[in-house]
Amino acid sequence: MPNPPRPAEPGAGIAAHDRLYRSLRQQIMHGELAPGQALTLRGLAKSYGVSMTPAREALRRLAAEGALTLSASGRVTTPDLSQERIEELATLRALIETELATRALPRAHMALIERLQVINMANAEAAVKRDAVAYIRTNLEFHRTLYLRAQAPAMLAVAETVWLQLGPTMRAVYSRLHRSDPPQTHRMILAALKAGDEPALRLAVRTDVTQGLRHLLT
C-alpha cells in the first residue's frame, strides 16, 4: 500500500480528496506501484486517514485519466498494459514529445540547458544506486523541464497523462534493463539544444522516449 501523507483534518473532505489524488497520482507516474496492483477503497481510506468518500472520488478521477482500471465488479488496479497498448502509448510519446521539444528549442537558453544537466546528474546517481523510482522521477523531470519552455500547456497535459498510464510499466522496463547509467539519448538532447539543431533534437527525443519500451515488445 502506498505511503500515506498526514491524516486529513475533520471536515476537510475536498482537501483530503485532492491530497490523496495527488499523492497516488505521483506514485503511479513514478512507478512506485507495480502493473496490475490492486487498490481498495477501505485500504486507501485507512492508510490516508480519510473517509470512503474522498477515497472514492480520488480513485474515480485517476480512473478517468487512465491511471487506474476499474472493472465491472468494482475492482481497482493499476494498468497492466497489453503490448498493443504499450506500442500505442509509445507512439503518442514520440509524436507529442518531439513536438514539445521542437517548440521549446527557440527558448532553450543556457540557463535551461544547465538546469537539464543538473537533473541528468541526479538521474545518473539514481541509476548507479539502482533506485528505480528516483530514476523514473528524474527522467520525467528532465523531459518536463524542457517541455515547459514550449509554452503549450494543453499538449504537456496530454503528455503527462501518457506518462501516468505508463508509470507502472516503466518500472517493469527499468527492472528488465538492469540500467546502471543514464540514457545516452539525454546527452544527445543536450547537445542538440546547445547546437540549436532541430532535426537532431527531434531524433534524440523520439529515440529516448521509445527505446526503453521496445524491450517490452520483443
Fold agreement (13-77, 83-214): no
pLDDT at 128: 87
**Span 83-214 CATH architecture:** Up-down Bundle (1.20)
> Do 44 and 77 meet the contact criterion of CB atoms below 8 Å apart?
no
Closest CA to 179 of 190, 188, 170: 170
CATH topology of domain 13-77: Arc Repressor Mutant, subunit A (1.10.10)
Extents of the domains making up the chain: 13-77, 83-214
pLDDT at 203: 97
90 CB burial (10 A radius; 0-12, 13-18, 19+): buried
Task: Tell me the DSSP string of the chain.
Answer: -PPP-SPPPTT-HHHHHHHHHHHHHHHHHTT-S-TT-EE-HHHHHHHHT--HHHHHHHHHHHHHTTSSEE-TT--EE-----HHHHHHHHHHHHHHHHHHHHHHGGG--HHHHHHHHHHHHHHHHHHHTT-HHHHHHHHHHHHHHHHGGG--HHHHHHHHHHHHHHHHHHHHHHHHHT--S--HHHHHHHHHHHHT-HHHHHHHHHHHHHHHHHTT--
Closest CA to 77 of 90, 86, 85, 67: 67
CA distances, 129 to each of 8, 20, 30, 87, 132 (Å): 34, 29, 16, 29, 9
Encode 26-69 in three state secondary structure. Answer: HHHHCCCCCCCCEECHHHHHHHHCCCHHHHHHHHHHHHHCCCCE
> Do 174 and 218 meet the contact criterion of CB atoms below 8 Å apart?
no
- How many residues can be counted in the chain? 218
pLDDT at 1: 53
pLDDT at 15: 80
pTM: 0.86
10-residue mean pLDDT series, the chain (218 residues) = 50 69 93 90 86 88 90 84 90 96 97 97 90 92 98 97 92 71 86 98 94 68
